[in-house]
């Protein structure tokens, strides 16, 4: 069963390489980007490392505390792995609980109710990343170009999305109406690479790590679907947020 990051909207209920080495170069500079073939055979230019991102994937229910509404925490853990921070997903969850950086529901005896716990706000995810020593920025996504630019500069990225919009786009035959909520963002995914058209330099799509499923690593999401899932429309805004990590904080002198 898929579990969401923001359950309240749906129910009452190692050394880090420099940014230039991780993919891309400066924004708008396509020099040196490798070509990559999509599943349909289309050739694109790729910024980001799909296989490295795939290896950093975390399934959100796979933690010792059994929190399942924890896509944001899983995405935080993935970014820590990408930037060489030695901390397991369960350690990330434990810190989040201890520091009040995620939602926690308890029963009468004080035991954590995993199926209702783990949701995070963007501010909590930023605080958690910074607690583990990463340089982090957060902004509302107004254009998918913002996501592409961050990846092209070698930053690690996660975005908040509307789960039903994303999943319906990836699996049209599925029924995800129960995950739509109020239409705004209610789930978090990591974005590990961006594909550009070699001729026009326009964004073709992104590769994402979706922690809601065990097989959610490195799924291709078209540019249009990403726009719908993160930004939405004027009538039905999603108001998604991007968190970008540029590296490990340098110790102060």
Mean pLDDT by 10 residues, the chain (253 residues): 44 31 47 90 96 97 94 98 96 98 96 96 98 97 98 97 97 94 97 97 98 97 98 96 92 55
Q: Measured between alpha carbons, how far is 213 from 153 in angstroms, rounded to an integer?
A: 28
For 19-248, give the CATH class. Answer: alpha beta
CB 193 within 8 A of CB 32: no
Q: What is the pLDDT of residue 91?
A: 98
Q: Measured between alpha carbons, how far is 116 from 192 in angstroms, rounded to an integer?
A: 28
**Burial annotation 97-123 (CB, 10 A radius, 16+ → b, else e):** beeebbbbbeeeeeebebbbbbbbbbe
Q: What is the pLDDT of residue 32?
A: 82
User: Which two tokens mark 56?
Assistant: 């950093």
Model-level pTM greater than 0.85? yes
């Amino acid at each position: 069963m898929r579990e969401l990051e923001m359950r309240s909207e749906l129910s009452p209920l190692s050394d880090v390489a420099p940014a230039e080495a991780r993919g891309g170069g400066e924004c708008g500079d396509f020099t040196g980007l490798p070509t990559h073939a999509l599943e349909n055979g289309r050739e694109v230019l790729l910024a980001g490392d799909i296989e490295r991102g795939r290896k950093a994937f975390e399934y959100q229910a796979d933690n010792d505390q059994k929190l399942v509404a924890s896509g944001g925490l899983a995405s935080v853990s993935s970014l820590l792995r990408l930037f060489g921070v030695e901390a397991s997903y369960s350690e990330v969850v434990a810190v989040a609980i201890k520091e009040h950086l995620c939602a926690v529901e308890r029963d009468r005896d004080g035991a954590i109710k995993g199926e209702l716990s783990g949701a995070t706000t963007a501010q909590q995810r930023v605080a958690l990343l910074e607690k583990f020593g990463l340089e982090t920025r957060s902004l509302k996504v107004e254009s998918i170009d913002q996501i592409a630019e961050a990846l092209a500069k070698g930053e690690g990225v996660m975005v908040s999305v509307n789960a039903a919009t994303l999943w319906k786009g990836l699996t049209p035959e599925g029924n995800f109406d129960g995950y739509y909520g109020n239409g705004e963002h209610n789930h978090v995914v990591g974005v590990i690479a961006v594909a550009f058209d070699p001729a026009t330099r326009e964004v073709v799509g992104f590769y994402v790590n979706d922690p809601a499923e065990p097989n959610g690593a490195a799924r291709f999401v078209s540019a249009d679907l990403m726009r719908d899932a993160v930004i939405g429309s004027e009538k039905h805004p999603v108001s998604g947020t991007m968190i970008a990590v540029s590296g490990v904080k340098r110790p102060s002198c």
